[in-house]
Amino acid sequence: MNLLMCPVCHEALQLTGKTWHCVNNHSYDVAKQGYVNLHVVQHKHSKNPGDTPESVQARRAFLSGGFYAPLQHAVVEKIRELRVENLLDIGCGEGYYTNAMQAEVLQCVGVDIAKNAVQVAAKLNKNMTWVVGTGATLPVLDASIDLCTSLFSPIPKQEILRVLKPHAYLMVVTPATEHLYAMREALFEEVNPHEPYKFVAQLEDAFELVEERVVDAPFTLQQADLKHLIAMTPYAYKAKPERRQALEQKDQFELKAQFQIYLFKKKA
């Protein structure tokens, strides 16, 4: 079953050869890397939205070191328990988590606004559907999805409600209170704990909170990995340059990642 929707007229898309097309003759070619761009020009607010190529490469390098593997394993374990047929990963980035999720479902769609991130993802896994698209108009059909996931990504609530089947699931992963606290202390004069519970408040009218879990991942970073971690976060440009440079000069740095996982169920 096809899940994709034309971003212009909202009709179903069909794949013929290397081209997705709808009944109104809007067509979208599959790029040579294996993704389709459904982020149409009328929805764009900048020429190259989303993560920069530098932050995508930094994230790919950091995540390949396995530092966030405890989170990846926890997410995959939960998806396996849910036994869903299809999944939409919103803000899939370069595909580190999406790639692992795909093995647990029949159909997996990864969508991200950053074309350079989706290009990297599509090269690594040809067994799923990679899409450049926006959360403002998720490129999938109404009531077609069993599970939406959003890991460190926006949560376009109304669009998620549109695409989820009745009683389907939404998994949100966000920084827990102590996430990268030591790094933030080194980069900023004032550090406030993350407030993950705000997402529960935002979603409680339309979703029931089914489960919550905190995953800790302590690690010691060598200098190269520390630089990659800084570069893949918003802290890279929010911190004062002299504070960032001082941190990047450390040979080793002890740190703890802490992730909050929420599983919601769409209310009737």
Interatomic CA distance for residues 161 and 207, integer angstroms: 9
169 is in an annotated binding site: no
28 is in an annotated binding site: no
108 is in an annotated binding site: no
Interatomic CA distance for residues 167 and 147, integer angstroms: 10
92 is in an annotated binding site: no
Using DSSP, how many helices (H) and how many strands (E) does the chain show?
10, 11
Angle, helices 241-248/223-232, rounded to nearest 10 degrees: 150
Amino acid at site 90: I
228 is in an annotated binding site: no
- Distance from chain centroid for Cα 71: 13
Interatomic CA distance for residues 247 and 226, integer angstroms: 8
The number of residues making up the chain comes to: 268
Report DSSP letters for 87-147, one per residue. Answer: EEEET-TTSHHHHHHGGGSSEEEEEES-HHHHHHHHHH--SSEEEE-BTTB-SB-TT-EEE
Count CA atoms within 13 Å of residue 215 on its CB side: 19
- Binding-site positions for Zn(2+): 6, 9, 22, 26
- Binding-site positions for S-adenosyl-L-methionine: 68, 94-95, 179
- Binding-site positions: 6, 9, 22, 26, 68, 94-95, 179
